[in-house]
Amino acid sequence: MVLNLTTSSDPSTAIDLDLLNPLEVIEMMMIDLRIQLAQLEHQIKTLQPAFFAACFALNQAKIERHRAIVSRRLTPAQWTYATEVLEQEILLKQLRKQFQQDHEPTSGREITWMIKLLLAQPI
């Protein structure tokens, strides 16, 4: 099987996947990229408290830099609902579940592949 894809829109950095077999694409490209992504996510998570403190110290709704704009955003609010509303929500969930069991979906079924990284030590 030959893949006819490139990994970049920039021709100077594009990799011709015609030359790779499927296992090389999985192992050498996708898994390696997922490991790099996990490392970056860890770095971001580690830096996040200092980043929030820095943004809070500036006390601005929008921080404009030459490479990005950082904007303050509120998380969704939460409410305490009356018992009757909660009971109606439970009933609606039960009705939806029964409907899903009785009927085929009209859209949304797509094939996807997931990668679970098997690392000996945490990143």
Average pLDDT over residues 63-84: 92
Residue in the structure block whose two tokens are 């100077």? 12
88-120 tens-digit pLDDT: 999 999 999 999 999 988 888 787 777 777 776
What's the confidence (pLDDT) of residue 115? 73
The span from the CA of 117 to the CA of 30, in Å, is 11
What's the confidence (pLDDT) of residue 29? 86
What's the confidence (pLDDT) of residue 17? 62
Tokens of 14: 């594009």
Paired with 62 in beta bridges are 71
What's the confidence (pLDDT) of residue 13? 52
Residue 6, Cβ density class (10 Å: 0-12 exposed, 13-18 middle, ≥19 buried): middle
Average pLDDT over residues 61-77: 91
Q: Report the b/e string of 31-45 with b at 16+ CB within 10 A.
A: eeeeeeeeeeeeeee
Backbone angles phi, psi at 71, to 5 degrees: -120, 145
17-50 tens-digit pLDDT: 666 788 888 888 899 999 999 999 999 999 999 9
Domain boundaries, the chain: 1-73
Neighbours of 110 (CB within 10 A): 5
Tokens of 36: 């790099």
